[in-house]
Structure 1
């Protein structure tokens, strides 16, 4: 984080990202418990490149974006950030949002460097929740959920279930998102925020999604907090 925040325009390679993680011992043995890890997704991106025989950005474009007809979604090659775009709202936003590009997203790579808009994410939410682009066997494996330690939330293969909502959130410095689908209601919720300033230690995207679902789907509340003891 020090390297990222000291130079927001710096570009990282996947190997450089992995080197940061590999400097430290494993927190626990695989399968022992749950902890979200960007390192795992960077490793997955390298596996996709090796098996697919092409760059991750090209593979994602051909195998995901094109068949899903996501025309306003891209895996950036560098610091490009199409206009118009939402400007950052955080204490150091002026320093980090200088010029046309703003934050260089390579530090997230396969873990969250992609750029999209509300319309594409609304379409993507249902596709990813129902597994339209993958085989029935892969759908079953992906939705084999394990407890995360957070009440009401479980995690499968790159996808979570929270209060019945299936999908994923995203967070990079200055921006947050929630893209989820509720199959029982055939409902979709997409939030895009241009701030990451926490409130009482909680991400604003989770707080907003929770507040919305408490009203519109009270039986299916996103990220419902644990009851007081």
Structure 2
């Protein structure tokens, strides 16, 4: 989920900063001076993320690495491959289920969403009869982003608030379309909220059940789960995540416990770096959808978030400095940012930091540093 990147200075004691940056670790035989470990250390020491975690698979060998501290202000070991909030990585899982339904003949990619959710998608410049399922999954629908209207710029007011999916949709549809369907690309969580409702309408089962059975279990993921209604915790070993209380800056709060219901099919999952890398690996290896539907997922449009980025159906196509590309998603949700994916030649990377870029300094260089660390993990 793309959450507001919070900017501004945070007052911390020198001891607190040293505590957060004081612990680094490498496991599974990885050289502590490896380029990837150096990148994680830099994310902690230079960019001031409390912790960084990575899982890297190359030549059939998986290595997990950590840096920093699991708690801000004191040295607490970061759990190796610990669980984090996965945010918008959830969109890949949701898209996979929709493409499975396409393969089963239950959904048509180029049919209007009106066919499956009649009368639901209406608003100023908004008509479900003119928006296709493909445009939802591709972020070319023009639907306004509901997260812009939930008051998430004041995190403490929504941290423990429960949201119903239809209330989230109403928040989006109360605003005019951003553009005519199919005319441009713009990221909107509303697209995947509707994709989740589509899954429920077609299967007559909860979206969390379908994602669990059709993706999590099929991919063999051991530490990924959809939090049940009312569960604000992260189960199992995990580092704490931190967020600015207000988008204008100021106090940093512990965001580990929060109600993730506003994420839904767009961003509710909890996972680990290795599981996030594994689901992209399973997808590219043809274990989750048939070849025809995987080809549809990899038909891309320009996604001008960063140079060279493109977006398919629930997947970004990201260029690598060493040549080639990786396919994945990534997620931003208060307390955690995750990035990574998989390549055609068998490499896969999952990386997480325990705050959004901008929580402890300038957002842009911190965001670029995270992406650079992912590139290093793939290329060096």
Q: Could you tell me the TM-score, scaled by structure 1's length?
A: 0.84
Match of 1:159 among 315, 321, 341: 315
Is residue 42–residue 109 contact of structure 1 (8 Å, CA) maintained in 2? yes
Is residue 118–residue 192 contact of structure 1 (8 Å, CA) maintained in 2? yes
Q: Which consecutive residues of structure 1, in runs of 5 or more, have no partner in the other structure?
A: 219-229
Deviation string for 1:128-157 (max 9, x for gaps)?
A: 334421111111111101111342111011
Q: Which has the higher contact order (CA 8 A, sep 6+)?
A: 2
Higher mean C-alpha displacement, 141-150 vs 121-130: 121-130
Residue 69 of structure 1 corresponds to 220
Match of 1:104 among 224, 249, 259: 259
Q: Are 2:346 and 1:195 aligned? A: no
Is residue 125–residue 181 contact of structure 1 (8 Å, CA) maintained in 2? yes
Output the CA distance in 2 between the equivalents of 1:66 and 1:82.
18
Match of 1:114 among 254, 269, 278: 269
Residue 26 of structure 1 corresponds to 177
Residue 202 of structure 2 corresponds to 51
Residue 81 of structure 1 corresponds to 234
Alignment of 1:138-217 (within 5 A): 138-149=293-304, 150-163=306-319, 164-183=325-344, 185-198=345-358, 200-202=362-364, 204=366, 206-214=368-376, 217=379
Structure 2 vs 1, CA of residues 110 and 94 (structure 1 numbering), >3 Å: closer, same or farther?
same
Residue 104 of structure 2 corresponds to none
> Where does structure 1 differ by over 6 angstroms across 4 or more consecutive aligned residues?
none
Is residue 34–residue 148 contact of structure 1 (8 Å, CA) maintained in 2? yes
Instruction: Give the CA deviation at 1:215.
Output: 7.4
Residue 135 of structure 1 corresponds to 290
Is residue 193–residue 205 contact of structure 1 (8 Å, CA) maintained in 2? no
1:68 aligns to what SS in structure 2? coil
Instruction: Give the CA deviation at 1:73.
Output: 0.8
2:261 aligns to what SS in structure 1? helix
1:67 aligns to what SS in structure 2? coil
2:271 aligns to what SS in structure 1? coil
Is residue 177–residue 205 contact of structure 1 (8 Å, CA) maintained in 2? no
Structure 2 vs 1, CA of residues 27 and 54 (structure 1 numbering), >3 Å: closer, same or farther?
same
2:292 aligns to what SS in structure 1? helix
Deviation string for 1:23-63 (max 9, x for gaps)?
A: 11111011101001100000000000111110011111111
Higher mean C-alpha displacement, 103-112 vs 78-87: 78-87
Output the CA distance in 2 between the equivalents of 1:130 and 1:82.
29
Pairwise CA RMSD of aligned residues?
2.2
Structure 2 vs 1, CA of residues 141 and 91 (structure 1 numbering), >3 Å: closer, same or farther?
closer
Q: Which has the larger radius of gyration?
A: 2
